Amino acid sequence: MRPTLVFTAFAAAIALGGCASPVPLKKAPVESKTATPVESGTAGSSGVGQNQVAAVQAPAESNAGPGPDVPKSIYFAFNSYVVDGKYTPVLNANATYLTSHPQAHVQLQGNTDARGSREYNLALGQKRADAVMKGMELLGVKSSQMEAVSFGKEKPKALGTTDADYAENRRVDIVYQP
């Protein structure tokens, strides 16, 4: 009986250990850098300060992705990880950028709404990120340019409990890395 208990504890530790830390937190500052030009542009009223911000910003933008006009989120139905056909243009636009910029790297961040256990949502978020990754690979993106991770329900966009809030949180964000 004792070996069975040890094996069960070991298996549980392995299963939960892979889900305990979905993403290294060092990646968070990437998102805050996009807000920096707005803040620094309003702080300095002289043209020199604004030009300096643009000069500093240019190297970071060279790997920032296809631009603000290209959507970088794909949304999912409740309890689903199937990429809806209406998101084909989003996949195509991001895949085109990645294939033409082989040095670019993205993190595909799977998210869920707040319903369900933490473990279930981490697994579902990973399946969503993996589904987007597979779709991008089929469009020619090298797997070495992508990393699929899950935040589960830990990184909501909307904090409410309406159906619209839940729908906003069921997504994969395509986050370009510097």
pLDDT tens-digit readout, 135-169: 999 999 999 999 999 999 999 999 999 999 999 99
Domains of the chain by range and CATH?
Answer: 30-61 (no CATH), 65-178 (3.30.1330.60)
Whether pLDDT at 176 is above 70: yes
pLDDT at 129: 98
**What is the pLDDT averaged over residues 38-48?**
38
**What is the pLDDT averaged over residues 88-96?**
97
Q: What is the sign of the dihedral through the CA atoms of 120, 122, 125 and 131?
A: negative
**What is the pLDDT averaged over residues 55-71?**
63
Whether pLDDT at 45 is above 80: no
Phi-psi region of 116 (alpha: psi -120 to 50; beta: other; left: phi over 0): left
Q: Where do runs of H (alpha helix) occur along the chain? A: 2-20, 29-33, 36-43, 47-61, 88-100, 118-138, 163-169
pLDDT band at 65 (very low <50, low <70, confident <90, very high): confident
pLDDT at 124: 98
pLDDT at 18: 40
Q: Which amino acid is at 11?
A: A
Note whether 23 and 129 are within 8 A (CB). Answer: no
Whether pLDDT at 123 is above 90: yes
Q: Render the burial of 86-125: b for 16+ CB within 10 Å, e for the rest.
A: ebeebbebbbebbeeeeebbbbbbbbbbbeeeeeebbbbb
